Amino acid sequence: MHEMSIVASLFEILEAKARENQATKIVGVKLKVGKLAGVVPEFIASAFDIYKQDTIAAEAGLEIEEVPLKMRCRKCSAEIVQEDYSLLCPSCGSTNLEILEGMDLFLDKIDLEI
Amino acid sequence: MEKKVIQVREEILGSNKKIAADIRAKLEAAGVLVVNLLSSPGSGKTTLLERIVEALKPHHAPAVIEGDIETERDAERIRRKGVPAWQITTGGACHLEAKMVARLLPEIPAETRFLFIENVGNLVCPAGYDLGENLRCVLLSAPEGDDKPKKYPSAFATADCLILTKSDLFPVLPFDPERAAREALEINPRLRVFITSALNGVGIEEFVRYLVESREALLQGRRHA
């Protein structure tokens, strides 16, 4: 349950972006959450609703897109989208995979009012 | 009033990653191998560390950062071995972050060769935070059960090695070390697997050798870079 500290880091970025753009309000936030990022989207949403009170994002809606684990095999170049958690190339059995997506948490976009 | 959409595409934990990269660069330059130990509470991180630092101490100057929610107890246990140790108490937070480690860097003695960071006992949250380590080791103890890797995949997916601890209990528990290793390897086939018992010393020497070789490889890599 570290979703609250993730949301705290998110708000550091949100507040900086709002300042940069001289926004009066943040009305929408979209996140991309990797399947292997180790967080529960519902908990992020609850933490966001608690944290946003009395901030510039008090009325903001939150959209979360879940990103599956996407990898490329360094041996056979296959692109792999994994539903379960396996770091093995299904085409050639290689373990030499480059993770392209699905490990991280991204702030994708912000809707502002200026 | 004007509406504006800004495409940010920024990693939420990006600032943690930056601090971690900085720690890694600084300590690598100083010839220190950094090891982040992850596991559930009670799987034997501190007890294993006591054994490891005892084995390393004569030739390889270890140091330890202990992460816990409360108390100074674990750092005291390591200090009793004559090894420098610092306690980070998170006051409730379930994981360590790179900035907590960065604050301690000035205190690490110049002769240090190995820095161990014992994360807060938790098999989920610490996995998302790079602390600047060169090796991430996840521990799984026999009493926890051999079905844990698939239930908590992030920790196993991001680790370099798996240590099955408390092997002295294998004979009396329904724990199949092969199944535990197989489950973990299905998630992450690159894991090095070790079996240890801090009680009777099984596997300690082999793991210490792995640490020493990993540090040599790190130094070699720097020379070739």
CATH no. of A3-67+101-113: 3.30.2320.50
Kindly report the number of other CB atoms within 10 A of residue B151's CB atom. Answer: 11
B110, B32 Cβ separation under 8 angstroms: no
Model pTM? 0.90
Chain CA centroid to CA B157, Å? 14
pLDDT at B225 over 70: no
Q: What would the pLDDT profile of A57-77 be if each residue is shown by its tens digit?
A: 999 999 999 999 899 999 999
Q: What would the pLDDT profile of B210-219 be if each residue is shown by its tens digit?
A: 999 999 999 9
pLDDT value of residue B20: 98
DSSP string, chain A: --HHHHHHHHHHHHHHHHHHTT-SEEEEEEEEEETTS---HHHHHHHHHHHTTTSTTTT-EEEEEEE-EEEEETTT--EEEESS---S-TTT----EEEEESS-EEEEEEEEE-
- Residue A85 pairs in a beta bridge with none
What is the mean predicted confidence (pLDDT) over B53-62? 96
B174/B185 Cα distance (integer angstroms):
20
Determine, for residues A112 and B8 on separate chains, whether the beta-carbon distance falls below 8 Å: no
What is the mean predicted confidence (pLDDT) over B26-45? 96
Distance from CA of A78 to the nearest CA of B (A): 17
Q: What would the pLDDT profile of A74-93 be if each residue is shown by its tens digit?
A: 999 999 998 777 788 888 98
Which sequence spans correspond to the domains of chain A?
A: 3-67+101-113
pLDDT value of residue A50: 94
Determine, for residues A88 and B186 on separate chains, whether the beta-carbon distance falls below 8 Å: yes
What is the mean predicted confidence (pLDDT) over B46-64? 97
The rounded percent of chain A whose pLDDT value lies above 70 is 99
Q: What is the mean pLDDT of chain A?
A: 91
The CA-based angle B117-B120-B121, given to 5 degrees, is: 115
Q: What is the mean pLDDT of chain B?
A: 94
Q: What would the pLDDT profile of A34-60 be if each residue is shown by its tens digit?
A: 988 888 899 999 999 999 999 999 999
A74, A50 Cβ separation under 8 angstroms: no
ipTM of the complex model: 0.85
Place B50 in a pLDDT band, splitting at 50, 70 and 90: very high
The larger pLDDT score, comparing residue B176 to residue A40, is at B176
What is the mean predicted confidence (pLDDT) over B87-115? 94
Which range is least confidently modeled, A16-30, A75-89, B6-20, B98-112?
A75-89
Chain A residues within 8 A of B125 when measuring between CB atoms = 1-2, 38
A97/A72 Cα distance (integer angstroms):
6
pLDDT value of residue A97: 86
Interface test with B, best of A4, A5, A20 (most B CBs within 10 A): A5
Which of A9, A27, A38 is the closest to B127 by Cβ? Answer: A38
B→A contacts (Cβ < 8 Å), by residue, are 1-13, 15-16, 93-95, 97, 124-125, 127-128, 150, 153-155, 157-158, 186-190
Chain A residues within 8 A of B190 when measuring between CB atoms = 87, 95
Place B91 in a pLDDT band, splitting at 50, 70 and 90: confident
Tokens representing B203 are: 């596997």
Interface test with B, best of A107, A109, A112 (most B CBs within 10 A): A107
pLDDT at B176 over 90: yes
